[in-house]
Amino acid sequence: MTDRNNNTKRMYVGVDVGGTKVLAALVEESGNVLTRCRCSTPRDGPPERVVAAIEQSVDEVLGKAGIGPKELTAVGVAIPGVVDPDTGRVIFAPNMCLTGVTIAPHMKDHLGVPVAVGNDGNLGALGEAWLGSARNAKSVVNVCVGTGIGSGIVRNGELWLGAGESAGEIGHIVMQIGGPKCGCGNLGCFEAMASRTAIERDIRLAIDRGGKSVVTEWLNESPGRIRSGMLRRALDAQDELVTEVMRQAAVVIGHACLTVRHLIDPEVIVLGGGVMEACGEFMMPIVEDVVGNDQLPNARGCGKVLLSALGDDAVVIGAAALARGLVGRSPFKKQFTAKTTYPKIDRAVFGEITVAAKTYDRDIYIRVDGKVKKRDKSTAKELYGTSHVVGAEELKKVCRGGPEVLFIGAGQSGLVELTDEAGRYLEQRIIRCELLPTPEAVGAYNRSQQRKAALMHVTC
């Protein structure tokens, strides 16, 4: 059990309140996510329904872990809007019914622990700066492309909030004078041009004007919103209408990155959120092309545009970082650095590998949280005809949580190889890869003191 005053294992809950879902995660002081719970965000009714969903998500994640509120150190909640961090009050939430609602005191009464509330874009940036693609950068702007477009700025481990707590609202920079109306009420905002909501609007308008798309059939079969997964499926099907809408959204995102570069000149720009997570493979080359053609370069070649290494967990990990700061244990201060305890790989011979005294007769993953998972070779065999090839889709499973380094045991003879897409996946998230024959990879993994993950192939 955790003692909040002198505990050896502090735990936090981070909550990401989005336009379509509420995601809660139980997070260790090291940043590792222990459990997650997800529920739909209520779309109708009073704001009390959303607050109840937030509290329910926290209760469920604690129940899933088998612990109670007394074992928590603090809670962080991310809201898509302008927030007063001192009072926990939502000043303005353009896409949901939380404007004017004070969340922190209510939740503190419910849980009996300190509660911090912040903007979701800010906390996504904080998560990426702590453990994600910007972990080694002194300055980062994180842009989260989802239902709306959130953003945040972190410099030297500190959020840049501005005089009125609304700095970093890049989703509401005007990209087209007199353009489409945004949820904030202004016209032509970045969010109104390239968010998932904007993409859905443009697809539906094109279909209403007679455009042909596989999306029409899918919506007839299952009416509802056009979510990011459906956009990815349409791109995979080479749907011309969706491809063109997505191409234009990517161009807008690229020009927004140029604006960020020219205004703030951060060391790193990180793109995350559901749209980039699902469709980044298609969109990133377009974004990179726009940014790469910048006619006003800086002096040192900084301003890399990367993809999120934390994915869906970026905001909840950032919320946990905010909660840590609330109780005086900022993860950006060296004296409060906490590291994961990783299992030792005891031995690896042909056809077997032993990790923490447990023997496996097949390939395994060791994720960044230290959990060992059996490798499912079916995806590799289906895509490449052999399990000796590791692609980007498989790396999404192995690298969940954002390791600094990935060790790949390439078999006794070193036959395993990465696809070009897999190499690009790692490069876009600043994850170093050590591809070695399995016996050598085992030794390198055991010696490493970094935040790490592994894929160990135990045959040929």
Specify which residues 24 forms β-bridges with.
Answer: 15, 37
The strand pairing partners of 364, in sequence order, are: 374, 456
Same domain assignment for residues 230 and 268: yes
Do 171 and 273 meet the contact criterion of CB atoms below 8 Å apart? Answer: no
Q: How far apart are CA 323 and CA 327, in angstroms?
A: 7
Please check whether residue 328 lies inside any domain of the structure: yes
For residue 4, being part of any structural domain is answered with no
Distance CA 405, CA 398 (A): 11
State how beta strands 417-418 and 405-410 pair. Answer: unpaired
**C-alpha span between 17 and 79 (Å, rounded):** 5
| Residues 77 and 221 grouped into a single domain | no
Question: Cβ(437)–Cβ(458) under 8 Å?
Answer: no
Q: Are residues 57 and 110 in the same domain?
A: yes
Let me know whether 43 and 120 are in one domain.
Answer: yes
What is the C-alpha R_g of the chain?
A: 22
Dist. CA 416–CA 61, nearest whole Å:
38
Instruction: State whether 326 and 258 are in the same domain.
Output: no
pLDDT by residue for the chain (460 residues), tens digit each?
A: 344 434 458 999 999 998 778 999 999 999 999 999 998 888 777 888 899 999 999 999 999 999 999 999 999 999 988 899 888 899 988 778 889 999 999 899 999 999 999 999 999 999 999 999 999 999 999 999 988 998 999 999 999 988 877 788 899 999 999 999 998 899 999 999 999 999 999 999 999 999 999 999 999 888 888 999 999 999 999 999 999 999 999 999 999 999 999 999 999 999 999 999 999 999 999 999 999 998 887 766 667 899 999 998 999 999 999 999 999 999 999 899 888 889 999 999 999 999 999 999 999 999 999 999 999 988 899 999 999 999 999 999 999 999 999 999 999 888 999 999 999 999 999 999 999 999 999 999 999 999 999 999 998 7
What is the Cα–Cα distance from 290 to 253, expressed in whole angstroms? Answer: 9
Considering the domain architecture, whether residues 77 and 202 belong to the same structural domain is answered as no
The number of domains in the chain is 3
pLDDT computed for residue 2 by the predictor: 40
DSSP strand E in 341-397: where?
A: 345-349, 352-355, 358-360, 364-366, 372-374, 389-390
In a domain, 164, yes or no: yes
Report which residue type is found at 389: V
pLDDT for 67 equals 93
Three-state secondary-structure class, residue 326: helix
- Assign residue 398 the CATH number of its domain: 3.40.1230.10
Same domain, yes or no: 320 and 364: no
Helices assigned H by DSSP within 293-361: 314-326
Reported residue count of the chain is 460
Instruction: Verify that 304 and 318 share a domain, yes or no.
Output: no
82 shares its domain with 170: no
Whether 255 is in a domain gets the answer: yes
Q: Are residues 156 and 297 in the same domain?
A: yes
Neighbours of 48 (CB within 10 A): 12
**Does 65 fall in a domain?**
yes
- Both structure tokens of 4: 């909040």
Q: Which amino acid is at 287?
A: V
Q: Which domain holds residue 384?
A: 345-457
* Residue appearing with tokens 């005007």: 174
CB 363 within 8 A of CB 412: no
CB 151 within 8 A of CB 170: yes
Beta-bridge mates of residue 89: 84, 102
Give domain status of residue 5, yes or no: no
What is residue 300's predicted lDDT score, i.e. its pLDDT? 62
C-alpha 294/C-alpha 301 separation (Å) is 11
Position 447, amino acid: R
Q: Are residues 139 and 285 in the same domain?
A: yes
Do 430 and 372 fall within a single domain?
A: yes
Phi, psi of 214 (to 5 degrees): -65, -20
Asked whether residue 6 is assigned to any structural domain, the reply reads no
How does 209-224 read in b/e, with b if 16+ C-beta sit within 10 Å?
eebebbbeebbeeeee
Domain CATH number, residue 110: 3.30.420.40
Residue 301 lies in a domain: yes
